[in-house]
Amino acid sequence: MAEHHVTPIRTYVYVFLALLVGTGLTVLAAEFDFGLFNNFIAMAIAITKALLVLYFFMELRQSTRMTALTAAAGFFWLVLMIGLFLMDYGTRMAVVLPVPGK
């Protein structure tokens, strides 16, 4: 009754190894200070790992469009929440009031 084909063990193992490599990479990258890029690199690695898990382990590549849309909507909503929160916090400038007479 399995309407989708069975993923070979090899595929799972390769994904597993890729995830381990990713973990090692992120630990390694953290040792260096890339300034503004620190966050970007860490998140890029994490997002790639998450996509691997979603796509292969959670079988998104064999799922219906509805399922993929649901997963995407969930993550998008989180990004929306963080983004709009930052819109407030990021635009609050420290105001230095002029001292009269100076």
Partner 1 sequence: MDIAPVTSTAETAETAFERPNYLNAAYGWKSWLLTLDHKRIAILYLISVTAFFALGGIFAGLVRLELLTPEGDLMGPDTYNRVFTMHGIIMVFFFLIPAIPAVLGNFLVPLMVGAKDLAMPRLNLASWYVYNLGGLFTLWSIVHGGVDTGWTFYTPFSTSYSNTYVISTALGIFITGFSTIFTALNFIITIHRMRAPGLSWFRLPLFIWSTYATSLIIMLGTPVIAITILLVGLERGFHIGIFDPKLGGDPVLFEHMFWFYSHPAVYIMILPAMGVVSELVGHFARKKVFGYRVVAFASVAIAVLGFLVWGHHLFVAGESVYSATVFSVLSMLVAVPSAVKVFNWTATLYEGSISYQTPILYALGFIGLFTIGGLTGVMVATLGIDPHVHDTYFIVAHFHYVMVGGTIMAYLGGLHYWWPKMTGRLYSVFFSKLSALLIFVGFNLTFFPQFILGYLGMPRRYWSYPPEFQVLNVLSTAGATVLGVGYLLPICYFAWSLKYGAKSGNNPWGAVSLEWDTTSPPPTENFYTTPVVTHGPYEYVREDVHNRLTQEANFE
Partner 2 sequence: MNSTPLVAGHAHGDGHRHPAHQFETMEQQKETSTLGMWLFLVTEIMFFGGLFTAYVIYRNMYPAAFAAASSTLNVPLGAANTAVLICSSLTMALAIRSAQVNQRKKIVLFLLLTMVLGTAFLVVKGFEYHDKFVESHIPGDKFKPFNFVLENEHEASVAYAADPLYQRHAEIFFSLYFIMTAIHATHMIIGIAILAVLAFYSRRGKFDSGYYNPLEMTGLYWHFVDIVWIFLFPLLYLLGAHTK
Tracing tokens 């300034």 back to the chain, one arrives at 35
What single letter denotes the amino acid at residue 68?
A
CB of 97 to partner 2, least distance (A): 22
Over the window 48 to 77, marking each residue x when it contacts partner 2 by CB under 8 A and - when it does not, the resulting string is -xx--xx-xxxx---xx-xx--xx-xxx-x
CB of 38 to partner 2, least distance (A): 7
CB-CB contact of 60 with 54 (8 Å): yes
Query: Which helix (H) or strand (E) is 61 found in, with range?
Result: none
From CA 3, how far away is CA 62, in angstroms rounded?
A: 10
Give how far the C-alpha of residue 42 lies from the chain's centroid of Cα atoms, to the nearest Å: 9
- Cα maximum dimension of the chain: 84
Q: Count the neighbouring beta carbons within 10 Å of the beta carbon of residue 59.
A: 12
Over the window 29 to 48, marking each residue x when it contacts partner 2 by CB under 8 A and - when it does not, the resulting string is -xxxx----x---xx-xx--
Taking the least distance from each CB to partner 2, the nearer of 92 and 98 is 92
| Residues engaged in binding partner 2 (CB under 8 A) | 1-3, 6-7, 9, 12-13, 15-16, 19-20, 23-24, 26-27, 30-33, 38, 42-43, 45-46, 49-50, 53-54, 56-59, 63-64, 66-67, 70-71, 73-75, 77-78, 81-82, 85-86, 89-90
